[in-house]
Amino acid sequence: MLRAIFLFLLCSFTTASFGGESECAKLAARSGGPENNYRPPQEATVVGKGRLYFYNAPSNECPMKRVFVVPGDVLTVYKSFDGWANVMYIAKNGDDFMGWVLENRIKEIGQYGNNP
Residue-wise pLDDT for 1-13, tens only, equals 333 333 233 333 3
CATH architecture of 2-111: Roll (2.30)
> Domain-by-domain residue ranges, the chain?
2-111
Q: Are 115 and 44 in contact (CB under 8 A)?
A: no
**Whats the size of the chain, residue-wise?**
116
Residue-wise pLDDT for 54-94, tens only, equals 999 999 999 999 999 999 999 999 999 999 999 999 999 99
**Terminal Cα-to-Cα distance of the chain (whole angstroms):** 71
Ranges of H-type helices in 40-79: none
Percent above pLDDT 70 for the chain: 78
Quote the CA–CA distance of 49 and 34 in Å, as a whole number: 31
